[in-house]
Amino acid sequence: MVLDLTASSVDLTRAICDIPSVSGDENTLADAIEEALTPFAHLEVLRHGNTVVARTSLGRAQRVAIAGHIDTVPINANLPTRLVAIEGQPHLWGRGTVDMKGGTAVQLKLAAELTEPAVDITWMWYDNEEVEASKNGLGLLAADRPDLFHADFAILGEPSNGEVEGGCNGTLRAIVRTSGVRAHSARAWIGENAIHRAAPILSRLAEYRAREVMVEGLLYRESLSAVRISGGVAGNVIPDACEVEVNYRFAPSKTAADAEAHIRSVLAGFDVEITDAAEGARPGLDAPIAQQFVEAVGAEPRPKYGWTDVARFSALGIPAVNYGPGDPHLAHHDEERVPLAQIDAVERGLRAWLTSP
């Protein structure tokens, strides 16, 4: 597959969306990106697994990292892409249009075209963002090549409706277990039903009220939810085990340790195992370069509720924001679609800032 980086950002979005790249299967798209970028003399192109890096070395006073993931959640009869009209406005429909190949396409086009940007740029397109953190291409790159993460500011092309979303919530996953005693379901009183014992867990989660936390002028909303439940042996057996998987999205003012303590408090009395945790990122909008970016793109900063890889940059002391086309509410949705006007607007905003003196 050959990518034409002279095409419009809209056409480029469609082209890269139509290359299926579900997490773990990004090789074809990564190959196409590497091949498309290699001829440009102003870029040094590097490959790390299925992560592609392209960077300028112009001796500018500041360097910016601009990143986008190339994987998607599984396809569900929503490829190939197609153009649709929503309330009279043209949209591109299909898997990846929102999360986040619209932003990735804008980045690819600008990487090719901006031969003399006002700052040096390290462009990063990485794999396995939608799965467990241990596989995340950006994290693996940071571990092996920390030198590539020297930057004064970072932008992640996650969907933000073309606005600037500062920082992100943290995320924690836990398994909450109950146990019982197996018995024949015709003589249920002989056993102890582990699934029934999970009822108080679900009640506490259903009654939980999300907190709103102000962090550096942005209001982050938390959530605590059951996302999966499993248990049972057979249709005629009282179950002796049940597991409820819980996901806690917490404000970036909390550490992962704070989040764990909160989970254990809410679910006190139950067997709780923390299986995954990633701290959030504070907005970082007090940095002068971040303020210049917000002013240049003409956006009103908002909080990012979902966890994104801005947290990886924040952990390295690099202020980072989310800026990309697409409604975050439609990320992973089977009706994923992005307004064409938003793709164009993000390209204009990013181009204007990267070329301003």
Kindly list the catalytic residues: 71, 129
Closest by CA to 238, choosing from 271, 197, 269, is: 197
88: left (phi over 0), alpha (psi -120 to 50) or beta: left
User: Angle CA(318)–CA(324)–CA(330) in degrees, nearest 5?
Assistant: 125
Full DSSP string of 220-233: EE-EEEEEEEEE-S
Q: CA quadruple 77, 81, 85, 91: dihedral positive or negative? A: positive
Q: Where are the alpha helices (DSSP H) in the chain?
A: 9-17, 27-37, 102-113, 137-144, 194-197, 199-207, 256-266, 288-297, 310-315, 340-355
Sheet with 82-86, edge to edge strand ranges: 82-86, 89-93, 337-339
End-to-end distance of the chain based on CA atoms, in angstroms?
A: 37
**CA separation for the pair 186, 23 (Å, rounded):** 45
| Amino acid code (one letter) for 196 | H
At 35, list the tokens: 């091949």
Based on the number of CB atoms within 10 Å of its own CB, is 52 exposed (0-12), middle (13-18) or buried (19 or more)? buried
| Amino acid code (one letter) for 104 | T
Helix axes 340-355, 9-17, angle to 10 degrees: 120
**CA separation for the pair 73, 242 (Å, rounded):** 27
Element (H, E) at 214: strand 212-215
At 87, list the tokens: 């309330």
CA atoms within 13 A on the CB side of 223: 9
